């Protein structure tokens, strides 16, 4: 299938994974966790539609291996920028650059990347500082959802996981209509 020009970076905790369901071992590794209703289906639908997807997440590598293996979703991710491995946490540009490097994306590709996450200070500020699109996963009951400064203002807010699909299509439409020819 032809790959979509819009590239998706997505957070894990309280964006896909319901953090209240996490079961951790004594070292803090998440052994298993539940996803928000519709989150797994959304991720799979994006993957099947031909979007290239990177997991951009703060935490331990083993945690994310366990969770996405549990749900059979590991194959959805072409790249994984995990803070334990990168040595920095969002909003550090190192996290975003790691995903870009793994996907062989250059500066000029930033305008066709969208970061989706629940955390204003990490995901949205990080995306805005990088100059990529930002979508706030606005359905987590555990995090602040009101931007406190202009850098925390997302381009779009997804009120539930399924809404991400529509917003991705909308951003893709805007990127496509900008008239840039993408080099593959």
**Nearest CB to Mg ion, comparing residues 136 and 175:** 136
CA of 89: how far to CAs of 38, 92, 103, 133, 159, in Å? 27, 6, 19, 19, 25
Task: Report the interface residues with Mg ion, using CB under 5 A.
Answer: 11, 13-14, 118-119
∠ CA 45-51-54, nearest 5°, is 100
Q: Shortest approach of Mg ion to residue 57 CB, angstroms?
A: 7
**Nearest CB to Mg ion, comparing residues 164 and 175:** 164
Q: Could you tell me whether strands 113-117 and 133-137 are parallel, antiparallel, or unpaired per DSSP bridges? A: parallel
Q: Shortest approach of Mg ion to residue 70 CB, angstroms?
A: 18
Query: In angstroms, rounded to a whole number, what is the distance separating the alpha carbons of residues 76 and 70?
Result: 13
**Nearest CB to Mg ion, comparing residues 118 and 175:** 118
**Nearest CB to Mg ion, comparing residues 100 and 137:** 137
Q: Shortest approach of Mg ion to residue 104 CB, angstroms?
A: 26
Q: Shortest approach of Mg ion to residue 119 CB, angstroms?
A: 5
Residues comprising the chain, all counted: 184
């Amino acid at each position: 299938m032809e790959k979509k020009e819009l590239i998706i970076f997505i957070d894990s905790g309280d964006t896909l994974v319901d953090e209240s369901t996490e079961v951790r071992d004594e070292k803090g590794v998440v052994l298993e966790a539940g996803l928000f209703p519709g989150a797994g289906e959304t991720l799979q639908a994006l993957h099947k539609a031909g979007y290239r997807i990177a997991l951009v997440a703060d935490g331990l590598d083993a945690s994310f291996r366990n969770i996405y293996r549990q749900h059979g979703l590991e194959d959805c991710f072409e790249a994984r920028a995990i803070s334990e491995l990168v040595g920095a946490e969002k909003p550090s540009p190192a996290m975003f650059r790691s995903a870009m490097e793994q996907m062989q994306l250059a500066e000029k590709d930033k305008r066709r990347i969208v970061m989706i996450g629940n955390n204003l200070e990490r995901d949205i500020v990080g995306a805005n500082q990088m100059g990529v699109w930002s979508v706030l996963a606005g359905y987590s009951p555990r995090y602040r959802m009101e931007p406190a400064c202009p850098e925390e203002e997302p381009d779009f807010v997804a009120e539930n996981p399924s809404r991400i699909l529509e917003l991705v299509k909308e951003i893709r439409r805007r990127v496509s209509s900008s008239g840039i020819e993408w080099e593959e």
